[in-house]
């Protein structure tokens, strides 16, 4: 009887698990974006003090629950030597968040090259892609239009997939909730091609 009830309980309360990669160069604000995401969607979560956030070596993990869905985030280190590890996670992911530091115009080409290399992976074909132009709260930062001009070089590689570019400030939370809601909608739409795993 217990087994039957447990099976019923598990069926009723199971969640579809989706895995999202957060990629980008070091110091782009990936961990702050993850922290802000957890704060926006988990009422009991208190964001880590941004001044205490350091460059990620390896990965940070976070999760949020929205309805019957669990979004699991893997925030990977962006240093050049760590970028070689990114593709080890591609096969299991359902979406990619690519974070760009809008306050560092001198690294924009470097960021675009890392982004363009991601798109070379056939494993990510069709996977929804959220491009976050972060640090838009900083005066004299690059505009979204400036960034699109450089990243437009990769438009053919983006191919047939959901993709958008959003103006974000991970520090103050501007557009973080909106961007995650957009990504979840796209991931659900793509579930026939990359189904959720079940908790």
Residue 166 lies in a domain: yes
Quick one: pLDDT band at residue 3, thresholds 50, 70, 90? low
Catalytic residue among 79, 109, 185, 198: 79
How big is the chain by its Cα radius of gyration, in Å? 17
Q: Say what the pTM is.
A: 0.91
Quote the domain boundaries for residue 166: 16-198
Residue 75 confidence (pLDDT): 97
Question: According to the annotation, is 30 in a ligand binding site?
Answer: yes
Question: According to the annotation, is 173 in a ligand binding site?
Answer: no
Residue 11 lies in a domain: no
Residue 1 lies in a domain: no
The tally of domains found in the chain comes to: 1
Residue 5 lies in a domain: no
Q: Taking the chain, what is the end-to-end CA distance rounded to the nearest angstrom?
A: 22
Residue 138 confidence (pLDDT): 96
Residue 91 sits in a domain whose CATH number is 3.40.50.300
As a whole number, mean pLDDT of residues 146-175 equals 96
Question: According to the annotation, is 27 in a ligand binding site?
Answer: yes
- Percent of the chain whose pLDDT exceeds 70: 91
Residue 179 lies in a domain: yes
- Percent of the chain whose pLDDT exceeds 90: 79
Helix (H) or strand (E) holding 74: strand 69-76
Residue 10 lies in a domain: no
- To the query of whether residue 185 is one of the catalytic residues in this protein, the response is no
């Amino acid at each position: 009887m217990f087994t039957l009830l447990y099976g019923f309980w598990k069926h009723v309360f199971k969640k579809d698990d989706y895995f999202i990669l957060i990629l980008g160069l070091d110091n782009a604000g990936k961990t702050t974006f993850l922290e802000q995401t957890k704060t926006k969607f988990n009422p009991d979560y208190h964001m880590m003090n941004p001044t205490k956030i350091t460059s990620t070596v390896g990965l940070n993990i976070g999760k949020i629950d929205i309805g019957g869905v669990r979004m699991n985030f893997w925030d990977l280190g962006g240093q050049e030597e760590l970028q070689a590890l990114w593709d080890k996670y591609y096969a299991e992911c359902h979406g990619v968040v690519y974070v760009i530091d809008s306050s560092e115009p001198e690294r924009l080409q470097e960021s675009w090259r890392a982004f363009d290399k991601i798109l070379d992976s056939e494993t990510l074909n069709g996977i929804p892609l959220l491009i976050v132009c972060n640090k838009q709260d900083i005066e004299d930062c690059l505009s979204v239009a400036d960034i699109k001009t450089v990243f437009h070089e990769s438009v053919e590689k983006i191919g047939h997939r959901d993709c958008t570019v959003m103006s974000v400030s991970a520090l103050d939370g501007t557009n973080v909730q909106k961007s995650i809601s957009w990504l979840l909608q796209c991931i659900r739409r793509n579930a026939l091609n990359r189904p959720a795993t079940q908790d």
